[in-house]
């Protein structure tokens, strides 16, 4: 889901209170670092879906009674808690915001008669890649909803930033309102009880399916992916994803994502986002545990705290990354994250290939048998490998393999892959 940002600058400049503007290369670094940070972060939550039954993502208590590997106490509870507070919905929010900004970056400066054609070719490739990813490898795919929403939001790319932000907020609010209204309706508890806490036999059947071979996995993967891309997309995903893309467009036009705002602005955003986001998210944990993870209360009302708190924390993360780039631009951390960000599409697919090879039956078959603390260890190992590989790869070539193919399909020609050390890597 990466958009190469090399050599691309926004057309508009944001007036800041800083004595001097941020150098162009630093603005580009901030975008790449933020994308890499988001890409690595989403694995913290995705690993739970790779490793355990899908129901455990919303209700982490459900698998605790099925096997010891679902333990929801002690250090395993702390791993869940930290992930829920710091990562759940936060990094996917960042990733989606960056995708919206990427649409602006891709379309600006291009001939009006060609821009939509190129955008649709680009988005069409993403859709095909997402469908293959979802049905052949992992039902938790985000490429399909990104492609579908990208086909729509491109038409409002020229709106003013305020209009984009306001419309985005309205769209994000739609699923929240639908959830609350559903929770207030009679019979809501009975309607979700089986989904919230399925029978142990059903959970163990899912475990057995993903410990089996690739063909057997299709029995669960195909209907799950289809449900998420139809009813799930219509009821929840379209609204939040499109809204966050519009927010990304607005934040880009305001100069927030390009490190053009003042240091004071970012410090205030960091402090406000951390205090507000952590407060709201922790309040949600307290509420959910107070009602003892009851289906109706936890699903329809408890989830709303993190739903909105994630926006605040994502804002804090944006601010933190921009400040990091100003202070340590060109350092080890920013260089590593930037390399991951420039190859984010490839790294996203690589995460799936590695994780499914670890947990699914066509690989090691560890699905449903790895504790949460062990999952966290696997995440760190994958991060380390992806960072090293990304840095080494970009020493010799200009794009990740998926990014290269994406460009080739978009423009109808093969871009040079090997790096010409006499020139910078070309941008879109």
What is the DSSP code (8-state) at residue 426?
A: P
pLDDT of residue 421: 59
CA distances from 183 to 246, 304, 378 (A): 28, 11, 37
What torsion do the CA atoms of 193, 194, 200, 206 make, to the nearest 10 degrees? -140
CA 291, CA 287: separation in Å to the nearest integer?
6
8 Å CB contact between 212 and 205: no
Q: What is the residue-wise DSSP string for 349-403? A: HHHHHHHHHHHSTTTT--TT---HHHHHHHHHHHHHHHHHHHHHHHHHBSS-HHH
Q: How many whole angstroms separate alpha carbon 132 and alpha carbon 139?
A: 10
pLDDT for position 66? 65
pLDDT at 12 (0 to 100):
33
* Residues whose CB is less than 8 angstroms from the CB of residue 184 and which lie 6 or more positions away in sequence, other chains included: 300
Q: How far is CA 395 from the centre of its chain?
A: 26
Name the stretches of the chain with pLDDT < 70.
Answer: 1-27, 66, 421-428
Measured distance CA(403)–CA(390) in Å, rounded: 13
Instruction: Name the β-bridge partners of 102.
Output: none
- Say if residues 22 and 323 touch (Cβ distance below 8 Å): no
Q: What is the pLDDT of residue 15?
A: 32
Where along the chain do its domains lie?
24-411
The string over 2-12, giving b where at least 16 C-beta atoms fall within 10 Å of a residue's C-beta and e elsewhere, is bbbbeebbbee
State CA 168 to chain mean position distance. Answer: 17
Token representation of residue 395: 């020493």
CA 277 to chain centre: 17
Alpha-carbon distance 165 to 175, whole Å?
Answer: 17
DSSP helix/strand/coil, 425: coil
Short-list 254, 71, 236, 70, CA closest to 160: 254
- In the DSSP assignment, the letter for residue 22 is P
Helix axes 90-107, 24-51, angle to 10 degrees: 140
């Amino acid at each position: 889901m990466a958009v190469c940002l090399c050599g691309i600058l926004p057309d508009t400049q944001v007036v800041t209170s800083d004595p001097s503007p941020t150098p162009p290369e630093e603005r580009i670094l901030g975008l790449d670092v933020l994308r890499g940070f988001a890409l690595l972060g989403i694995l913290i939550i995705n690993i739970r879906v790779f490793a355990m039954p899908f129901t455990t993502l919303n209700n982490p208590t459900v698998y605790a009674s099925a096997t010891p590997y679902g333990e929801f106490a002690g250090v395993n509870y702390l791993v869940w808690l930290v992930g829920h507070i710091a990562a759940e919905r936060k990094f996917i929010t960042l990733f989606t915001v960056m995708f919206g900004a990427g649409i602006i970056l891709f379309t600006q400066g291009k001939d009006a008669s060609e821009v939509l054609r190129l955008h649709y070719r680009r988005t069409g490739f993403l859709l095909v890649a997402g469908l293959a990813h979802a049905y052949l490898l992992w039902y938790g795919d985000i490429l399909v909803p990104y492609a579908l929403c990208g086909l729509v939001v491109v038409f409002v790319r020229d709106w003013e930033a305020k209009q984009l932000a306001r419309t985005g907020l309205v769209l994000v609010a739609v699923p929240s309102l639908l959830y609350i209204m559903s929770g207030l309706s009679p019979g809501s508890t009975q309607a979700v009880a089986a989904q919230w806490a399925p029978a142990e036999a059903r959970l163990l059947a899912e475990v057995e399916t993903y410990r089996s071979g690739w063909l057997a996995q299709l029995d669960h993967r195909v209907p799950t992916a289809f449900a998420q891309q139809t009813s799930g997309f219509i009821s929840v995903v379209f609204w939040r994803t499109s809204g966050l893309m519009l927010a990304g467009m607005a934040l880009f036009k305001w100069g927030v994502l390009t490190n053009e705002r003042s240091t004071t602005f970012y410090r205030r955003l960091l402090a406000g986002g951390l205090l507000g986001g952590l407060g709201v998210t922790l309040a949600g944990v307290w509420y959910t545990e107070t009602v003892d993870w009851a289906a109706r209360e936890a699903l329809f009302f408890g989830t709303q705290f993190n739903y909105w708190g994630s926006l605040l924390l994502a804002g804090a993360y944006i601010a933190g990354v921009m400040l990091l780039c100003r202070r340590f631009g060109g350092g080890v951390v920013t260089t590593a994250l930037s390399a991951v960000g420039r190859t984010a599409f490839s790294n996203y697919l690589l995460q799936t290939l590695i994780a499914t090879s670890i947990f699914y039956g066509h690989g090691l078959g560890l699905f449903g048998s790895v504790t949460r603390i062990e999952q966290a260890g696997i995440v760190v190992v994958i991060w380390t490998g992806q960072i090293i590989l990304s840095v080494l790869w970009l020493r010799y070539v200009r794009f990740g393999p998926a990014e290269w193919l994406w460009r080739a399909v978009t423009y109808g020609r093969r871009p040079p892959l090997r790096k010409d050390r006499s020139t910078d890597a070309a941008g879109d």
